[in-house]
Amino acid sequence: MAKIIVIGAVAGGATVASQIRRLDPDSDITVYEKDRDMSFANCGLPYYLGEVVEDRDMMLSATPDQFKEKKHITVKTYHEAIELNDSKKTITIKNHETGEIFEDAYDKLILSPGCRARHLGFQSDRVFTLRNLVDTDKIEDFIQKENVQSALIVGAGYVSLEILENLYNRNIETTLIHRSDHINKSMDRDLNKVIFDELEKRNIPYRLNEEIADISGREVTFKSGKTESYDLVITGVGIEPNSDWLKSSSLKLNEKGYIPVNEYFETNLDDVYALGDVIETFYRHTKKPTSVTLAWGAHRAAALIAENITSNSSSPKATFKGLLGTNIVKMFDYALGSVGVSESELSNYDYDVVEQTQKQHAGYYPSAEPLTLRVYFDKVTRKILRACAVGKDGADKRIDIIATAIIGDLTVDELRDIEIAYAPPFSSPKDIVNMIGYKAQSK
């Protein structure tokens, strides 16, 4: 009977433990989680703050008691891993409730410690980050107790944009600042214009190339010299991997502190795996290294790790074919999605681009709205490198189609051959995806 230790109990850790138990009824599985909660809906937290999701219990997928009762898995919250001794195959754990420090031995170790939010360093009880359910509860309690009427959102990644939209919809006056002029970096810069249009349509103030210089009470002083008052400040200025505690071990980290893994999610250490936000993996279609902090990869990794750990040693290993980084964000009336390498990574390729804007379904059918699809492809192989879609309706469908096309190893030209489900409420006889393929032929 193997002793399996999992570090981290959110998407990656909780899922891999559950998948192992599904395949292996006998192994001793212990999960250590440094925070209060396990297995919560990270991506839903802004929508709970916006009161779109009204029931807080919907944010919790499982509890330690449920894992123990239903799966015979021990989950210990408030237990932080502080050291890995790979030669002894032990993990040192600190119990934050009692202060006790102890060692636990493993046969197999799975690392899913995630990432933490970067902090601006200002000491203020009005400044918050949103990374977990504890953060969410603190923000919600503060909004209720302080009768929050105004909020400053710092940073313009997809989480910050979701928080801004949800607080605005909660009738909290919101302001957005960002330290550069490049917001929502998953999207092409020019296609982000609809975000600014949506902000201006609602008279939501925003300033680019702006940063906070000081915070005193409700008064926020900016590097531009402006001073403004806010009841609440929420910062989303990036994340850092929770890997500092691993630096004393022989585990390999990259220059940013992420854990490189191979196609089996194995690290450089025997019997040590890693998954989730903390890893460096690779793109499926280019094989170049990348770190993608999105939920799909964590869940796919969990299934593969569990399959390989529990399979017969003579069986071929299940391999991971890579990520595409498929993502989408809602910003009021618009959706903005992308797939493939980032805009900044395109310079590594000899590429061309084709773009089409047309209505998401038949133009004569009610609620027809413009949809833009842009596809980048390798000039020689014609393989798709990246795509972006933006519109009020249908962007998600087209990005999903392009993601599937990449997985199917289709060229940009072959997009013309994809048979889209057509009826006037859903698409056009020549869908925007097909039109990209036809246009690509001329290039």
115 is catalytic: no
Strand partners, 215: 220
Tokens of residue 434, six digits:
């097909």
CA 29 from chain centre, in angstroms, equals: 27
Contacts of 318 (CB under 8 A, 6+ apart): 264, 304, 307, 308, 311
Tokens of residue 266, six digits:
């194995």
CA angle at 60 for the pair 58 and 64, rounded to the nearest 5°: 145
DSSP-assigned letters across all residues of 13-57: HHHHHHHHHHH-SSSEEEEEESSS--SB-GGGHHHHHTTSS--GG
Tokens of residue 318, six digits:
């299940």
Name the residue among 79, 59, 229, 39 with its Cα closest to residue 137: 59
Distances (CA, A) of 324 to 43, 112, 120: 19, 20, 31
Q: What are phi and psi of 442, to 5 degrees?
A: -75, -5
CB atoms under 10 Å from CB of 131, counted, come to: 18
Distances (CA, A) of 102 to 121, 139, 301: 32, 33, 29
Tokens of residue 74, six digits:
């021990």
CB atoms under 10 Å from CB of 430, counted, come to: 15
Using an 8 Å Cβ cutoff, are 83 and 92 in contact? yes
What strands lie across the sheet with 212-216, from one edge to the other?
Answer: 212-216, 219-222, 227-229
Name the residue among 323, 345, 355 with its Cα closest to residue 442: 355
Tokens of residue 288, six digits:
């170049």
Map tokens 């056009």 to a residue: 428
Which one of 43, 58, 101, 105 is the catalytic residue?
43
Tokens of residue 309, six digits:
């750990």
Catalytic residues: 43
